[in-house]
């Protein structure tokens, strides 16, 4: 028999019907709430049994079919605390350490970590937070971003109070906690610190001993010692190293020098300060130190700078961060294990030491639909035990007094004492929502000075002019 | 409503069915998802970009404040030293990399066309490897190789007694170094197109040239090159547009430095948009850049149609 022909219309109707049916099933399935029910199902198979009864005289064949009853036992257990799924970005923890599994088992909070590079994290957070989006429930943010983000974050105090927790936590370093409150007192605390990153001045103790000098206290000391080291030992060892890539890298190396000369890149009223006596002296110092650095610093970033020190090619830098220190203390990588110490940044006479903070803080976006769960997860992640674990797994310095003095941690991370000292004089980058603009412009001109593309005078003048124009356009002076 | 008619053998004509409206317009239903997708992903952002180009854009909680300011963003570009420098650099970049890539790609394609078929297969497979690598990975790899102190390139140079080079760390050599990488990678794209072009050329002109006693160089210059003209124009169009939009390589290798010596127009636009958060100005720059590329593309497409 030939198959019945199907017209196009019939095919479409049938296809449409199937699609609608499938969509309906999918919608119904999606609408239903998932409930975890333990079901005990006892199924006994239907077994035809053939019984043959033999007798001496007659043979009778009896076939019986036994159908056993199917027993279905449904045991409903109390569900308990429902599981909540959150999404976060920025440094939250490392899945390999099992921290997220532990969070789930202890709090029923499942945390999806959206890992992105630094710049992408910043961009996606700015767009999501400012637009009130619900893409993220937890935002992990670098402290210079806070002035831009605080107004888009939920207030931490009532969230913590809802659980009966105290905020601010008295065990956390107050200067670091204050980074989450900008402008001070206007919105209230909007973020909880998690990583106590502090920039520090690192130097080779063995080289200082060979020179017969005390560790440098001023930038003039640094220049003097660097000249001796480079003069005597280059190309095997150079005195100092600095980051020359434009923008954030060059600016991060330059800021402690500029502050060590007694002035910041912008003042309290956001007036640019590079083209000042102190700014010009700081730029001159950059040129001096660059000329005593290993070749190629004009295009190095964070990782390359660390490598120059742990491979034993550079003796000092004022732009060293905890993750680089860990490498310097790792025997498989480093040629300088046990020969590095850290200090507060040098400062010229009369100026303050100014180590830079690079603290990461957790916040709850206002657009999130899970404020309470996010606060609970943040509280859990920032507990001492988890911060300690992060120190071991990621070299994220803690933000708690109790851990800074922890004998076990100090034994395993000898540089932690130096970081604690650096933290005592640490200051954040200029607190303005326009800092990224200032950093890009000044960092570009500092890079040009390092590459000898611009003179010190031209770079300072152009940097100040461009910063002023850019901030005027942003309405920063009105 | 359309009536379907059928002429029977007897000659009578009658309507046998009345097609419903949705079947008549069925094609629109099929293309609708693509059109909606295109509108959402391409047309809407383009319209927004043009609107922002004439505006001051600020972020407020839950909204994007767009305040019209006329042509200010456009006039600003003509006095912005960073943009003027980036534009000149981008023009030099396009001119150099596209020219060299065409010469290198054509040369390799010509050599390959002369090889035995099995050798051709092996070499073609090897030559397209750079083409399938993402530019950012290529940039990261070459960054390590070009490291002044630890890179393999300076190590190799030291073996033959040449001083270490600064490569990306010198503002005079940084852009040429990145050009070298781009030429290494993108010449293979030119090669593929040129190679396909050469293989599809008619053989008659070659036979005629051989009978006339033309030398190999004369055949290449007077037969191959003129016949390949349409391929040249297509390659020029695609490579010019692609080269002009370069930013990822610089971002991965130098962040536009040292200073601003490797900063291109698209990298500047990116910085204005995502570091300065000046979306109005960045949109105006994008619009101007878009117009320049459209003019260039139109010029090339006219050439293609003419040939």
**CA gyration radius, chain A:** 32
The pLDDT of residue A15: 73
Q: Find out whether A253 and A285 touch, Cβ atoms under 8 Å.
A: no
Identify the closest residue of chain B to A444 by CA–CA distance.
B259
Strand partners, A86: A111
Q: Is the dihedral of CA A445, A278, A356, A333 positive or negative?
A: positive
Please give the residue that has the higher pLDDT: either A17 or A207: A207
Which ranges of A174-301 does DSSP label H, i.e. alpha helix? 174-177, 205-211, 219-233, 248-260, 277-291
Cα separation, B307 vs B294, in Å, equals 20
Phi-psi region of A75 (alpha: psi -120 to 50; beta: other; left: phi over 0): beta
**Per-residue pLDDT reduced to its tens digit, B70-104:** 999 999 999 999 999 999 999 999 999 999 999 99
**Per-residue pLDDT reduced to its tens digit, A394-437:** 889 999 988 988 999 998 888 888 888 888 888 999 999 899 99
Q: Is A345 on the interface with B (CB under 8 A)?
A: no
Among B73, B251, B275, B282, most A C-beta atoms within 10 A, so best to mutate, is: B275
Q: Find out whether A242 and A290 touch, Cβ atoms under 8 Å.
A: yes
Q: What does residue A439 show for φ and ψ, rounded to 5 degrees?
A: -65, -40
Closest Cα to residue B82, out of B234, B226, B270? B270
Cβ separation B255–A294 shorter than 8 A = no
The pLDDT of residue A419: 85
The pLDDT of residue A365: 96
What beta strand segments (E) does A101-251 contain?
109-114, 138-142, 192-195, 200-204, 238-240
**Domain locations in chain A?**
87-197+360-426, 200-357+430-473
From A130, A437, A453, residue closest to B171, measured CB to CB = A453
Please give the angle made by the CA atoms of B301, B304 and B305, to the nearest 5 degrees.
90
> Which tokens is B6 given?
């059928």
Identify the closest residue of chain B to A297 by CA–CA distance.
B169
Cα separation, A443 vs A421, in Å, equals 27
Cβ separation B169–A294 shorter than 8 A = no
Confidence of residue A308 (pLDDT cuts 50, 70, 90): very high
Residue A209: exposure state from Cβ atoms within 10 A (0-12, 13-18, ≥19): exposed
Report the half-sphere exposure of B264 (CA within 13 A, side-chain side).
22
Q: How far is CA B196 from the centre of its chain?
A: 19
Residues of chain A contacting B174 with CB distance shorter than 8 Å: 299
CATH number 3.40.190.10 is the correct assignment for the domain at A87-197+360-426: yes
Compute the nearest-CA separation of A76 from chain B (Å).
Answer: 44
Identify the closest residue of chain A to B26 by CA–CA distance.
A12
Cα separation, A294 vs A292, in Å, equals 7
Cβ separation A437–B275 shorter than 8 A = yes
Q: Within chain B, how many helices (H) and strands (E) appear?
A: 17, 4
Which ranges of B114-258 does DSSP label H, i.e. alpha helix? 117-127, 129-132, 135-145, 152-159, 174-199, 204-211, 216-219, 225-227, 229-244, 248-253
Closest Cα to residue A159, out of A370, A416, A361, A445? A370
Q: Find out whether A345 and A354 touch, Cβ atoms under 8 Å.
A: yes
Cβ separation B276–A366 shorter than 8 A = no
Whole-model pTM: value is 0.82
Residue A314: strand, helix, or coil:
strand
Cα separation, A468 vs A175, in Å, equals 29
Q: How many beta-carbon contacts under 8 Å exist across A and B?
A: 115
Cβ separation A245–B149 shorter than 8 A = no
CATH fold for the domain made of A200-357+430-473: D-Maltodextrin-Binding Protein; domain 2 (3.40.190)
Identify the closest residue of chain A to B146 by CA–CA distance.
A296
ipTM reported for the complex, 2 dp: 0.86
Q: What HEC string does A390-454 produce?
A: HHHHHCCCCCEHHHHCCHHHHHHCCCHHHHHHHHHCEECCCCCCCHHHHHHHHHHHHHHHHCCCC
Closest Cα to residue A336, out of A314, A304, A319, A368? A314
- DSSP assignment string, A325-390: HHHHT-TTT-S-TT-EEEEPPP--TTSPP-EEB--EEEE-BTT-S-HHHHHHHHHHHTSHHHHHHH
- Chain B residues touching chain A at CB-CB below 8 Å: 23, 26, 59-64, 147-150, 164, 166-171, 174, 253-261, 271, 274-278
CB proximity list for B207: less than 8 A, separation 6 or greater: none
pLDDT at A2 over 80: no
Compute the nearest-CA separation of A24 from chain B (Å).
Answer: 20
**Per-residue pLDDT reduced to its tens digit, A384-402:** 999 999 998 888 999 998 8
Q: Is A444 on the interface with B (CB under 8 A)?
A: yes
Cα separation, A54 vs B62, in Å, equals 88
Q: Find out whether A121 and A128 touch, Cβ atoms under 8 Å.
A: no
Q: How far is CA B78 from the centre of its chain?
A: 25
**Per-residue pLDDT reduced to its tens digit, A77-125:** 445 678 999 999 999 998 888 999 999 999 999 999 999 988 889 989 9
Q: Find out whether A391 and A398 touch, Cβ atoms under 8 Å.
A: yes
| Percent of chain B residues past pLDDT 90, beyond the cut | 77
Rounded to 10 deg, the angle between the B279-306 and B44-53 helix axes is 120
Name all domains of chain B by residue range, CATH numbers in brackets. 80-306 (1.10.3720.10)
Cβ separation B258–A298 shorter than 8 A = yes
**Per-residue pLDDT reduced to its tens digit, B253-296:** 999 999 999 999 999 999 999 899 899 999 999 999 999 999 99
Equal fold, A87-197+360-426 vs A200-357+430-473? yes
Q: Find out whether A371 and A190 touch, Cβ atoms under 8 Å.
A: no
């Amino acid at each position: 028999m030939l198959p019945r022909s199907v017209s196009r219309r019939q095919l479409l109707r049938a296809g449409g019907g199937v699609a609608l049916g499938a969509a309906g099933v999918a919608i119904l399935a999606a609408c239903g709430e998932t409930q975890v029910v333990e079901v005990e199902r006892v199924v006994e198979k239907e077994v035809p049994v053939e019984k043959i009864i033999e007798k001496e005289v007659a043979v009778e064949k009896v076939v019986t079919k036994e159908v056993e009853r199917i027993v279905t036992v449904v045991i409903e257990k109390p569900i308990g605390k429902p599981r909540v799924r959150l999404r976060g970005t920025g440094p939250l923890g490392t899945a390999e350490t099992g921290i997220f599994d532990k969070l789930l088992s202890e709090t029923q909070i499942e945390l999806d970590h959206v890992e992105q590079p630094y710049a992408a994290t910043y961009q996606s957070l700015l767009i999501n937070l400012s637009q009130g989006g619900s893409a993220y429930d937890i935002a992990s943010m670098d402290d210079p971003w806070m002035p831009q983000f605080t107004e888009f974050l939920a207030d931490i105090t009532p969230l913590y109070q809802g659980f009966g927790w105290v905020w601010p936590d008295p065990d956390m370093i107050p200067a670091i906690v204050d980074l989450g409150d900008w402008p001070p007192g206007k919105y209230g605390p909007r973020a909880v610190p998690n990583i106590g990153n502090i920039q520090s001045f690192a130097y080779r103790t063995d080289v200082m001993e060979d020179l017969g000098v005390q560790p440098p206290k001023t930038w003039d000391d640094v220049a003097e010692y660097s000249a001796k080291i480079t003069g005597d030992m280059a190309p095997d060892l150079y005195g100092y190293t600095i980051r020359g890539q434009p923008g954030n890298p060059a600016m991060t190396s330059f800021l402690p020098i500029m502050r060590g000369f007694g002035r910041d890149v912008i003042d309290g009223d956001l007036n640019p300060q590079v083209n000042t006596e102190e700014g010009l002296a700081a730029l001159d110092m950059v040129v001096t130190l660059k000329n005593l650095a290993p070749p190629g610093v004009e295009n190095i970033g964070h990782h390359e700078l660390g490598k120059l020190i742990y491979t034993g090619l550079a003796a000092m830098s004022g732009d060293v961060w905890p993750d680089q220190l860990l490498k310097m203390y790792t025997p498989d990588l480093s040629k300088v294990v046990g020969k590095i110490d850290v200090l507060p940044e040098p400062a010229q006479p009369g100026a303050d030491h100014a180590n830079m903070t690079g603290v990461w803080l957790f916040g709850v976006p206002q657009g999130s639909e899970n404020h309470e769960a996010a606060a609970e997860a943040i509280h859990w992640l920032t507990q001492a035990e988890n911060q300690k674990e992060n120190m071991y797994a990621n070299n994220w310095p803690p933000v708690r007094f109790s851990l800074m003095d922890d004998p076990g941690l100090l034994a395993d991370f000898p540089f932690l004492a130096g970081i604690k000292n650096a933290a005592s004089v640490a200051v954040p980058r200029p607190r303005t929502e326009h800092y990224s603009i200032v950093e890009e412009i000044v960092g570009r001109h500092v890079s040009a000075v390092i590459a000898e593309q611009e003179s010190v005078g031209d770079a300072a003048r152009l940097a100040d002019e461009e910063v002023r124009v850019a901030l005027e356009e942003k309405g920063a002076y009105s | 409503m359309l009536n379907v008619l059928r002429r029977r053998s007897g000659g009578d004509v009658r309507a046998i069915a009345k097609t419903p409206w949705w079947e008549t317009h069925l094609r629109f239903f099929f293309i609708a998802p693509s059109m909606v997708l295109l509108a959402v992903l391409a047309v809407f952002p383009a319209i927004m970009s043009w609107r922002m180009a004439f505006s001051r854009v600020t972020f407020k909680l839950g909204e994007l404040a767009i305040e019209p300011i006329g042509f200010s963003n456009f006039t600003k570009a003509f006095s912005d030293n960073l943009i003027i420098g980036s534009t000149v650099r981008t023009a030099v970049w396009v001119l150099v990399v596209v020219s060299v890539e065409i010469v290198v790609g054509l040369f390799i394609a010509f050599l390959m066309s002369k090889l035995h078929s099995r050798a051709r297969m092996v070499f073609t497979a090897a030559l397209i490897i750079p083409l399938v690598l993402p530019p950012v990975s290529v940039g990261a790899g070459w960054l390590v190789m070009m490291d002044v102190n630890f890179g393999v390139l300076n190590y190799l140079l030291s073996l033959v007694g040449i001083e270490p080079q600064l490569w990306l760390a010198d503002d005079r050599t940084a852009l040429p170094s990145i050009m070298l990488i781009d030429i290494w990678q993108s010449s293979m794209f030119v090669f593929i197109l040129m190679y396909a072009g050469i293989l599809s050329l008619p053989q008659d002109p070659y036979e005629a040239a051989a009978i006339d006693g033309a030398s190999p160089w004369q055949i290449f210059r007077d037969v191959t090159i003129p016949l390949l003209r349409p391929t040249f124009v297509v390659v020029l169009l695609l490579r010019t547009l692609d080269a002009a939009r370069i930013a990822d390589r610089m971002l991965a290798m130098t962040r536009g430095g040292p200073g601003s010596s490797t900063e291109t127009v698209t990298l500047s636009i990116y910085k204005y948009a995502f570091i300065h958060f000046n979306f109005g100005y960045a949109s105006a720059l994008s619009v101007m850049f878009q117009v320049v590329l459209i003019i260039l593309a139109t010029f090339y497409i006219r050439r293609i149609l003419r040939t």
